[in-house]
Amino acid sequence: MSKVDFNKLFEDFSNIKAGVIGDVMLDIYWWGHVDRISPEAPVPVVALDKKEHRIGGAGNVALNLAALGSQVAVLSVMGNDENGHILTHLFNEHHINTNWVAKQNSRITTAKTRIISRNQQMMRLDAEITKDLCADDENALLEKVHHFITTEKPQVIIFEDYNKGVLTERVIKEVTALCKQHGVITTVDPKRKNFFSYQGVDIFKPNLKEVKDGLNLLIDDVNLVTLNDIHKQLQKKLQHAISFITLSEKGVFYQQNSDAMIIPSHLRNIADVSGAGDTVIAVASLIYAATKRIDLMAEVANIAGGLVCEEVGTAAVNKERLLHECKLLLS
């Protein structure tokens, strides 16, 4: 890899404007302790010690971008409800622009409540509507996206799909066309439902399991030959520019035209893999927007994904630590 001034690159993140479009969520944690079983039913009684609210879903991608210093906005539809107000407040606290979120009475804000005792999750309560946006809600979101692109002139828009109904086929198609028209880079972290709806995007970033499910593949041996074939199969369906596939503990793979490589993961003390995909797509999108270099994009995103796996729970990447690791491992 040619020499990179990582100090300057990381400073330049503040010049990048990014939008994250997809399913935003509120993560609620109820921490407590159990001393007895309920006399009403054979269930533990959790004595509540504290509550915590965190940004979840597509919002976690925005959180990673903000942690790296970029100018980031969320583009979504949420409910005009208490959880929506709490989530908006959290976004504002982290300097994430919420001007482009449509609050609709027809939806509720997706919220996942986890009840935890002795560091073990005992139960999860989900409040959500997962059906696709209705036409009015699609129109409200598309209007917000159009204004965002024309007024803010972002360099990149990230599609972050959690199958909660915000990224409909129409929204994906029209936002991608709008981005092409205005020269905005499009990157995608897909889910199976709309896996092949992202026609003509710049960077398509599934994980290996999602690819195998999407293409109905039964492969165990992961090597450059099989991944090259996967890229060709994906490109035949999507006509996208770059495949960027995360391979869990084996690292990441990228391909653009004939330029392809597997980058092995760095040795880590893995504590929790949740949220790693959000960090990878955020860092990859930011590096590519800043440099247009897929080798650098893949190397830095690979390091970032490993770093957040050392933290328990979903966590945004630490900018200073990532900078230090890049200088150590890539210089």
Which positions are catalytic? 278
Residue 21: closest CA among 193, 210, 148, 200: 148
Which DSSP category does 82 fall into?
H
Please tell me the distance from the alpha carbon of residue 140 to that of residue 62, in angstroms, as a whole number: 21
The helix/strand count (H/E) of the chain reads as: 10, 14
Residue 47: Cβ within 10 Å count? 11
Which of 251, 296, 266 is CA-nearest to residue 3?
A: 296
Who contacts 119 (Cβ-Cβ below 8 Å, separation ≥6)? none
Q: Report the alpha-carbon distance of residue 218 to residue 232 in Å, rounded.
A: 16
Structure tokens at 68: 């790296």
